[in-house]
Amino acid sequence: MSAKGDIFQPMDSVLHGFTPAAGGWRQKWRSRREPVDASEILDSPLPKGKEHDEILQLVQRLFLAPAPAGTKKVMFCGIDKNHSSRVCANAGRILAKQTGATVCLVDANVQNGQLSKQFDLEEKYAIYGKRGPWREQCAFVGKNLFVGGTGLLGGAEGRLASANEIKDRVLVLARSFDYLLFDAPGANTSSDAALLGQVVGSAVLVFEAQSTRKTVARRAKETLEMVNVRILGTVLNNY
C-alpha cells in the first residue's frame, strides 16, 4: 500500500482530478453504513438512518429524474472486489417502495454470486437455478422486488453468456420489469463487467472509502468507457 495520499480517504477528494468524459460523472454519492450485527445479511428490512437517506438520494437521481436523465437499467460494480452488492440491493428495495414499480435485481457476478447468497436464493427459493422462461427464473423477494440468480445471465465455464445472448435475455427482462439493476464483479478483476456494461449501457462505480486508490479507480473508469459504457456516478461506500 502506498502513501496515505493515494487512498480515497477525504470524501471530497473522491475522483478529484478526473477529466469528465462526454456525459460526464453525473453525481457522487456517499453511502454510510449504520452499525450492524456481524450476522446481518441483505435479506432484511430497508436500510435506516443516514444510509437510507443516501441510497434514497441515489435512487432519485438515477431513476426518478426527468427524461432523458432518468434510466431504467444500471450496472453496479466495484473496482478490484465485489463491493457493490449491498448498494445494488438497497437501491432496488428503495426504488420498489418509492415507485410501486417492479424492480429486478440481477446477479451478474457469476463466479461469486454475492447477491444470490445475501438473499439466500438457493435455500429459500426452489425456483432458483431451474431452467425456464427468463422471467420465471426471477424469485419474488418482497413487494414489487425480484432477484435473478447467476444462472440468469450465466454461460459456460462460470462466465457470463455471450454479448448477444445477454442482450436477448435483458430484452426479455426489460419487457417483464420496470427497472433492472445488475450487480457485476469488480471492473478491474473481470472482463464480465465490461461485457455486461456494453449491453446495459450505463454503470455506477462503488468505491470503498478506506481502500480504493485513485489510480485503480481511474483504470476502471477508462476500461468501461473504452467500450462505451456511460458512467453515471460513483458511490463512496463505508466512509
Q: Where are the domains of the chain?
A: 9-32+47-229
Tell me the pLDDT band of 20, cut-offs 50, 70 and 90. very low
C-alpha cell at 121: 436464493
Non-local (6+) Cβ contacts of 53 within 8 A are none
Looking at the structure, give the CATH architecture of the domain made up of residues 9-32+47-229: 3-Layer(aba) Sandwich (3.40)
**Per residue in 92-132, pLDDT tens?**
999 999 999 999 999 999 888 889 888 887 655 544 445 56
Instruction: Determine what percent of the chain falls in helix, strand and coil, rounding each to the nearest 5.
Output: 35, 20, 45
Q: Would you call 238 exposed, middle or buried from its count of C-beta atoms within 10 A (0-12, 13-18, 19+)?
A: middle
List, as one string, the DSSP characters of 92-160: HHHHHHHH---EEEEE--TTT-HHHHHTTHHHH-TTTT--S-GGGGEEEEETTEEEE-GGGTB-STTSB
